[in-house]
Amino acid sequence: MFFIADNLQITRPSVAKAFAGGDAAFFVELARRMERAGANAIDINTGPLPKNPQKAMTFFVDAVQEGCSLPLCLDTVNPFAMEAGLARARHGRPIINGVSLEPSRFKSMAGLARRFDADIIAYLLTPQGRVPSDSDTRLALAANLFAGLCHEGILPERIVIDPICPPLVWDEGHAQARAVVETLRLLPEVLNFPIRTVVGLSNLTSGLRTPRIARTAFQSAYIAMLCQAGLNLALLDIFCTEPLNAARACTALLKPGVFSWEIF
């Protein structure tokens, strides 16, 4: 399992405060902590960045890369900020997070992925930006999105499908969570390609007003289900150890060969 740390989000008060104050040292240390915690890549979620988007993204990228040598997953809807971040990324292959069938972002993000030879996360959203309610709709969207990206010159191995993990607090949250598992299971057959997949695990318990032990239990159980269905990458809170350990254990159990405790 490839872990992408989602702890650098502009919506977090500590992150917003450090960014507003130009505190690069905060992000250098945060990057070091995420790498030590077991992250394989770091998601930089900047939000829309209405003012000086290129400068802001460059600030984040430079600070994070000073603290660690992990690849970056750049999470912004602003194509100018995305381009600035990709141009600055120097550790491994960057990940564009992401693209969907929404016309406003498809061409621009696909073009950047082709230009920078970046991996690109493809969201299974309708062209209107809505989350589908069942696995059949998700699979149909995946086929259209995969074909569209390949038509734009994106190599199939650069594409990572995100079936959109629903919050359990939604009216049909539990049913949709099961639909995501079924989608992951069927995607390689539908696309006739061993496509990589990613799920934003933190979304599962977003808005859930239960004790932390319950939220981590839900995430740990769900990531085990996702692993069994073939999940490759997980976007998650890298400092929440329970889901990480569940994913590592599942990966070891599902891997052919002799079991080893070395995963821990």
Mean pLDDT check: name the lowest of 81-90, 215-224, 252-261: 252-261
73 has pLDDT over 80: yes
Q: Residue 263's pLDDT band (boundaries 50, 70, 90)? A: low
Q: Are 139 and 180 in contact (CB under 8 A)?
A: no
Q: In the prediction, which pLDDT does 262 show?
A: 60
**CA–CA distance, 247 with 237 (Å, rounded to integer):** 13
Q: Residue 216's pLDDT band (boundaries 50, 70, 90)? A: very high
* pLDDT (average), residues 51-74: 96
252 has pLDDT over 90: no
**Chain-centre distance of CA 231, in angstroms?**
12
Domains with residue ranges and CATH for the chain: 2-198 (3.20.20.20)
258 has pLDDT over 70: no
In angstroms, the Cα distances linking 68 to 7, 36, 132, 133, 244 are 14, 9, 37, 39, 20
DSSP class of residue 254 equals H
The dihedral sign for the CA sequence 143, 113, 36, 22: negative
Q: In the prediction, which pLDDT does 124 show?
A: 98
Task: Give per-residue pLDDT as tens, 5-52.
Answer: 999 999 999 999 999 999 999 999 999 999 999 999 999 999 877 788
Q: Residue 177's pLDDT band (boundaries 50, 70, 90)? A: very high
Q: In the prediction, which pLDDT does 259 show?
A: 62
* pLDDT (average), residues 88-103: 96
Residue with tokens 């490839």: 2
Q: In the prediction, which pLDDT does 134 show?
A: 95
Task: Give per-residue pLDDT as tens, 109-118.
Answer: 999 999 999 9
Amino acid code (one letter) for 32: R
